[in-house]
Amino acid sequence: MKISQKDVEHVARLARLTVAPEELEALTGQMDAILGYVDKLNELDTEGIEAMAHAVPMSNAFREDELKPAIGIERALQNAPVAGDECFTVPKVIE
Amino acid sequence: MKFHNLTIQDIRQKLNSGELTSVELTRVCLERIKATDDKLNAFITVCEEEALAAAAVADQQIASGNGALLTGIPVAVKDIFNTLDVRTTCASKILDDYVSPYDATTITKLREQGAIIIGKLNMDEFAMGSSGENSAAGAVYNPWDTQRVPGGSSSGSAAAVAAGQVVATLGTDTGGSVRQPASHCGVVGLKPTYGRVSRYGVVAFASSLDQVGPVAGNVEDCALMLGVVAGYDPADSTSVDCLVPDYLENLKTGVAGKKIGLPKEYFIDGLDPDIKKAVNSAIETYRQLGAEIVEVSLPHTDYSVASYYLIAMAEASSNLARYDGVRFGIRQDSGDGLIGMYQQTRTAGFGDEVKRRIMLGTYALSSGYYDAYYLKAQKVRTLIRQDFHDVFEQVDLLLTPVAPTPAFKIGAMTNDPLQMYLSDIFTIPTNLAGTCAMSLPCGFSEDGLPIGLQLIGKPFAEAEMLQAAYAFEQATDWSDRVPEL
């Protein structure tokens, strides 16, 4: 096995997801099969090969630091599940 | 009126001459959607009132001689494009109530050319899927056989064109999501070179792979649509500042003297016999059109699915972290604090395939596994790109199948995600390499299902690829057939 049920539960916590107990076995099996498959990359010797982050070679894209019209507070908040006082509202973080 | 055999430029002429009005045309599309979409489920949102109002304005513009390329012509876009004051759900429960506060650059470009956005198309949730089945809005069905999938993830974009609901659509292609559904639905779909089209305002799945692409009923319309949306955008720092040629200008150039490569790794034993036959016949057509056909090799093809899924899932896990119930989308909160709210929102909002990929991506990026998975996949990606670079020193274009089988039955691969991933084998490598590719109809299976031919071009050589596609289309009649609905 590449991955255990315990690992899956740990990854779920990292990803801020909850896996229902009745789904854990099937999900672990599917993830294990996929991780087993991608192991085939280890057949290739990649010593000294540069990792590729982008399809086209590019360096940092800089622009002048100028003020431009922005979307506005009303528009920015229009999809907020909860908002008030021109802010997004979230559950209390600090006791 | 049927526009199956009309190009956008034909319709343009009819609109300009007064033979047809935009309001009439828009009504035809709306009626066609009403008549067929209970069978197909291609649309998530239809903007009937807005489209008719825009059509009335377009008719005035045309009458006063101020029409542009697409003035008065209804098009539709995958529900992943932010479209001002219209819902953009990505076919996900988590964005069920999201209304776009701005237009994606590609939508702005469509509007600048006068296009009418008639609606938003169904898709696999967050563009993750190869079948059109992973949608909170329900599966999309193939217009050629409603027992079968239309392909994915731009399922609605391909089905809507095939069914004659609209003349052209936009989709997105991260690992084949424009080309594979185009192939399964018998229409033309193009993935431009990475950086060719702005992605500003397009909901991100895997940022080093995503690209916007048009779907249309014929090569000419596909070329026209690409010309409308292509070009550098200061709002997308990954878009490339290089000249956009007039894709229509030299479309009839032909392929005489061109060197077309057949990568031997794409002509494997497991290839469906109907597909083999159709693609072989297409090769013969190209030979007769004067192209030189040579066998070439892309030796790392077999590693592309593994490299792709690791990279795509890792990037997706990062991109989809933003759906946390704070700034947009749904929120589920039973009072267990901030982390609890995140977990409840994401668990309730994402579908199974999206969760699976976020989990795998998170794992591949997690401490202790990053080098073994994500970094390794990026190194293999370098080898795959090098394959294409080498082969394009020898040939002008590559010709391959789009998918190893025709459209499969609904539900056939639902419980076997790995098998589903492997069906993307022929489309994934070009996303990894960043080059352009397209799908066009090249035949039908014994069951009457469309088969697509893939052309792969050099980076930023979409014009040359379109010329080759056009030559094939003119020499055959596969694009003339329409499904009965």
CB contact under 8 Å between A55 and B327, yes or no, is: no
Q: Which residue of B has its CA nearest to A64?
A: B234
Task: Quote the Cα angle for A12-A14-A19, to 5°.
Answer: 15
Pairwise CA distance, residues B300 & B308, whole Å: 12
Q: What is the predicted pLDDT for the residue at A79?
A: 97
Distance separating alpha carbons of residues B229 and B225, to the nearest angstrom: 6
CB-based contact B341 A82, cutoff 8 Å:
no
Tokens of B250: 């030299």
ipTM value of the model? 0.95
Distance from CA of B263 to the nearest CA of A (A): 20
What is the identity of the amino acid at B148?
Answer: R
Interface residue A93 vs chain B (CB under 8 A): yes
What is the share, in percent, of chain B residues with pLDDT greater than 90?
94
Distance between B380 CA and the closest CA of chain A, angstroms: 7
Spatial CB neighbours of A8, under 8 Å, sequence gap ≥ 6: A19, A24, A27, A28, A31, B359
pLDDT digits (tens, 9 = 90+) for B94-119: 999 999 999 999 999 999 999 999 99
- Residue range A7-54, pLDDT digits in tens: 999 999 999 999 999 999 999 999 999 999 999 999 999 999 999 988
Local confidence band at B3 (pLDDT 50, 70, 90 cut-offs) = low
Residues of B with Cβ-Cβ distance to A68 under 8 angstroms: none
Q: How many helices (DSSP H) and strands (DSSP E) are in chain A?
A: 3, 2
If we measure between CA atoms, which residue out of B409, B439, B425 comes closest to residue B270? Answer: B425
Which residue in the block uniquely carries the two structure tokens 């100028």? A66
Whole-structure pTM value: 0.97
3-state secondary structure of B333: coil
Is B155 a catalytic site residue? no
Q: d(Cα B122, Cα B41) in Å, to the nearest integer?
A: 7
Chain B contact probe: residue of A34, A65, A77, A94 with most B CBs at under 10 A: A34
Which residue out of B135, B155, B177, B423 is catalytically annotated?
B177
Q: Are B366 and B358 in contact (CB under 8 A)?
A: no
* Residue B453 β-bridge partners: B401, B440
Distance from CA of A49 to the nearest CA of B (A): 6
Minimum-distance CB partner of A41 among B209, B307, B421 = B307
CB-based contact (8 Å) between A27 and chain B? yes
List pLDDT tens digits, range B295-324: 999 999 999 999 999 999 999 999 999 999
A56 contacts B380? CB cut-off 8 A:
no
- The CATH number of domain A5-43 is 1.10.20: yes
pLDDT higher for B222 or B419? B222
Beta strand B397-401 with B74-78 is unpaired
A37 vs B234, B306, B341: nearest CB: B306
Each residue of B165-186: pLDDT tens digit?
A: 999 999 999 999 999 999 999 9
Between B140 and B2, name the one with better pLDDT. B140
In the prediction, which pLDDT does B166 show?
A: 97
- Among the options B92, B100, B131, B153, which is catalytic? B153
Alpha-carbon dihedral B195, B200, B205, B209, rounded to 10 degrees: 0
Contact B462, B231 (CB under 8 A): no
Distance from CA of A35 to the nearest CA of B (A): 8
Mean pLDDT of B68-84: 98
Å between B428 CA and nearest CA of chain A: 13
> Residue B171, CB half-sphere, CA atoms under 13 Å: how many?
40
Closest residue of B to A43, CA-based? Answer: B303
Whether B209 contacts B431, CB under 8 Å: yes
Of B310, B362, B375, the CB nearest to A15: B362
Average the pLDDT over B150-157 and give the result: 98
Residue carrying the six token digits 């190869």: B130
Burial class (CB in 10 A: 0-12, 13-18, 19+), B16: middle
Position B14, amino acid: K
Rounded to an integer, what is the distance from CA B461 to the centroid of its chain? 18
Looking at every residue in chain B, the average pLDDT score rounds to 96
Cβ–Cβ of B359/A17 closer than 8 Å? yes
Which chain B positions have a beta carbon within 8 Å of A75's beta carbon? 101-102
Residues B74 and B32 sit within 8 Å (Cβ to Cβ): no
Confidence of residue B407 (pLDDT cuts 50, 70, 90): very high
* B78: annotated active-site residue: yes
- CA distance to partner chain A, nearest, from residue B252 (Å): 29
Quickly state the pLDDT bin for B417 (edges 50, 70, 90).
Answer: confident
CA pair distance B379, A53, nearest whole angstrom = 9
Residue B2: is its pLDDT beyond 80? no
Residues in chain B closer than 8 A to A70 (CB atoms): none
**pLDDT at res. B434:** 96
Catalytic-residue membership of B154:
no
- The domains found in chain B, sorted by start residue, are 9-250+457-480 (3.90.1300.10)
Across the interface, whether the CB atoms of A31 and B359 are under 8 A apart is answered: yes
* Dihedral angle over CA of B131, B132, B138, B140, nearest 10: -100
Contact at CB, B335 and A91, closer than 8 angstroms? yes
**DSSP codes joined into one string, B71-100:** TT-EEEEETTB--TTSB--TT-GGGTT-B-
Confidence of residue B1 (pLDDT cuts 50, 70, 90): very low
With b meaning 16 or more CB within 10 Å and e meaning fewer, what string describes B295-330? ebebebbebbbbbbbbbbbbbbbbbbeebbbbebbb
Instruction: Say whether B350 and A75 touch across the interface (CB within 8 A).
Output: no
Contacts of B418 in chain A (CB under 8 A): 30, 33-34, 37
- From residue B432, alpha-carbon distances to A29, B316, B480 in Å are 27, 15, 33
